[in-house]
Amino acid sequence: MLESMRIVGGKPLIGTIKISGSKNMALPALAAGLLTEEPITLTNVPELADIKSMMELLSYIGADISQIDKNTVSICTKNVKFLEAPYDFVRKMRASILVLGALIGRFGSASVSLPGGCAIGTRGVDLHIKALEELGATISLENGYIHAQAPRDGLIGTDINFPIVTITGVENVMMAACYAKGTTRLINSPIEPEVVAFADLLNKMGADITGHGTHIITINGVEKLHGTEFLIIPDRIEAGTYAVAAAATHGEIFLENCNYDHLSGFFSLLQKTGTCCKKKDNGVLVGKAKSQETIIHSLEVETAPYPGLATDLQAQLMVLITRCNGVSSITENIFENRFMHVPELVRMGADISIHGKTAILKGVPKLGGAHVMATDLRASVSLVIAGLIAEGETVVNRLYHLNRGYEDIDEKLRKCGAILERFCV
Ligand code: EPU
């Protein structure tokens, strides 16, 4: 049975939303559990479908996983049974590729299904493979699987140049390089907060990593990693999403636990549209200072690696600027197929045309409720926000994408006054 969401739009969202732990930091953190036979305990892990998928994959590999409470998970990989990630896991969630670096690092061997394409683009893993080869691994591609084998004496540290910034690519290689002999330098590394926090976690496990937060990460190989406890950082994409919801509905939301610094560029963009974003103790207050009639100013923006506009916030921001005064544009530079929300927003009355990588938006005074189809995680939530600002009723179909990345979204929005309900068709 497929789930849908019915939303009655037009109400400003007012209240407090507690930001959950970051999905995109929790996923590599769980995979890092494979790097040591001692338990690692992660707190502030969001309860999401993608997290569940990663835990299922780790269980298959042989991890002993204890769900201590809703958001605390302990993983012990003392008794690993299979050094592989089968197709059924990787098909469901691309981030399954993260077990590749961890398994080859600790055990010297791994087989992981190739992820193939996904809704937002082709998303190759060629850079993951090339980097592991540069560390000395022998890689073969057979029957849709990546088979990776380290030399008998282990991987060997080296300089690796990434031609484009890749988050999970670098996270994978960081894990493998922890056990490589000598020094590995990852040049053109991402500086996303999730990658920095991930390096902090590995260091807490006994790794010797420096330079995270700059574009060159240096990893000196170590003999052994050990168990630890780690607090997952707040989810900046979730926080940015609710910030847009506050701005677009002309409401006011306190984003509790939101780290302002992780989103300072995004808050500057929101401020340009006329939205107030104020750093407070333990969070950020976001909202429209003035009335519904306030003119929202147009924007010309493009997605880029951090600290640029996150591709994971592009769809949400687009909903806000459908009603900006004048002509705006959004260029998507990270993924080639991440405008799937556009035809749905057009059905709701938005004036958007796509020219290659760029969407041109002509401001419209209002959106109207419609039946729309969610296509991926961020597109789904953008349609929920569109439903919240539209006149009348919106039904968002194929809602399962939303469960992959937004913990307790219905309750969080309802607490701020949203009128919405799920139903099955
Ligand atoms: N790329 C290659 N070859 C590679 C690796 C990447 O061509 O070997 C390309 C991709 O196709 C893409 C670009 O490089 O065009 C950047 O991809 P990246 O590897 O950084 O993406 P990812 O690691 O697969 C993570 C997040 C995504 C987020 C992107 C970009 C996780 C688990 N996923 O994906 O999150 O959009 O970085 O910031 O961290 C989401 O949460 O909704 C989501 C899709």
- Rounded to an integer, what is the distance from CA 180 to the centroid of its chain? 28
Domains 3-20+234-424 and 23-231 share a fold: yes
The reported pLDDT for the residue numbered 116 is 67
* 252 CA distance to ligand 1 middle (Å): 32
Task: For ligand 1, pick from 30, 167, 311 the residue to mutate: most ligand atoms within 8 Å of CB.
Answer: 167
Rounded distance between C-alpha atoms, residue 245 and residue 102, angstroms:
37
The domain locations on the chain are 3-20+234-424, 23-231
Query: According to the model, what pLDDT value does residue 124 have?
Result: 86
User: Average pLDDT, whole number, for the chain?
Assistant: 95
Does the 3-20+234-424 domain belong in CATH 3.90.420.10? no
User: Is 251 in contact with 14 (CB distance < 8 Å)?
Assistant: yes
pLDDT value at residue 289: 59
Q: Which of 118, 258, 276, 424 is catalytic?
A: 118
pTM above 0.95, yes or no: yes
- Across the range 2-11, mean pLDDT stands at 95
Q: Are 184 and 173 in contact (CB under 8 A)?
A: yes
- Is the pLDDT at 329 greater than 90? The verdict is yes
Q: Cα-Cα-Cα-Cα dihedral of 254, 258, 260, 262, to 10°?
A: -150
pLDDT band at 120 (very low <50, low <70, confident <90, very high): confident
| Residue 34 beta carbon below 6 angstroms from any ligand 1 atom | no
Ligand 1 in reach of 351 Cβ (< 6 A): no
Which residue in the block uniquely carries the two structure tokens 């559990």? Answer: 33
13 neighbors 373 (Cβ within 8 angstroms): no
Exposure b/e, 109-131, CB count within 10 A at least 16 = b: ebbbbbbeeeebeebebebbbbb
| Residue having the nearest C-alpha atom to atom 20 of ligand 1 | 166
Q: What pLDDT sits at residue 117?
A: 61
Q: Minimal CA–CA distance to 156: which of 93, 197, 217, 104?
A: 104
Residue 126 CB less than 6 A away from ligand 1: yes
Give the pLDDT confidence score for residue 295 in this predicted structure: 56
DSSP labels for 39-52? -EEEES----HHHH
Reported CATH class of domain 23-231: alpha beta
227 DSSP assignment: -
Q: Which token pair is 221? A: 């190989």
Summarised one tens digit per residue, pLDDT across range 246-267 is 999 999 999 999 999 999 999 9
| Distance, CA of 79 to CA of 343 (rounded, Å) | 49
Low-confidence winner among 97-106, 238-247, 268-277 (lowest mean pLDDT): 268-277
CA distance 345 to 367: 8
Indicate which atom in ligand 1 lies nearest the CA of residue 28.
Answer: 32
Question: Does the annotation count 76 as an active-site position?
Answer: no
pLDDT digits over 133-170, tens only?
999 999 999 999 999 999 999 999 999 999 999 999 99
Q: What atom in ligand 1 is closest to the CA of residue 24?
A: 39
8 A C-beta contact, residue 220 and residue 183: yes
- Tell how far the Cα of 166 is from the centroid of ligand 1, in angstroms: 6
* Structure-model confidence comparison of residues 273 and 137, the more confident one: 137
Give pLDDT tens digits for 339-373. 999 999 999 999 999 999 999 999 999 999 999 99
Q: Does the beta carbon of 68 sit less than 6 angstroms from any atom of ligand 1? A: no
Q: Is the pLDDT of residue 121 over 80?
A: no
- The CA distances from residue 348 to 344, 364, 369, in Å, are 7, 11, 6
The per-residue pLDDT for range 190-231, each reduced to its tens digit, is: 999 999 999 999 999 999 999 999 999 999 999 999 999 999
Q: Is the CB of 236 under 6 A from ligand 1?
A: no
Phi and psi dihedrals of 76, rounded to 5? -125, 120
Angle of helix 126-134 relative to helix 167-178, nearest 10 degrees? 20
Task: Please tell me if the CB atom of residue 111 comes closer than 6 angstroms to any atom of ligand 1.
Answer: no
Q: Residue 184 pairs with which residues in a beta bridge?
A: 219
Is the shortest distance between the CB of 197 and ligand 1 below 6 Å? no
Q: Which residue has the higher pLDDT, 337 or 123?
A: 337
| C-beta 213 within 6 A of ligand 1 | no
Q: Which atom of ligand 1 is nearest to the CA of 405?
A: 41
CA gap 327, 321 in Å, rounded: 9
Q: Using the mean position of ligand 1's atoms as its centre, give its distance from the Cα of residue 168 in Å.
A: 7
Phi, psi of 418 (to 5 degrees): -70, 145
Q: What is the pLDDT of residue 293?
A: 47
Beta strand pairing call for 40-43 and 228-231: parallel
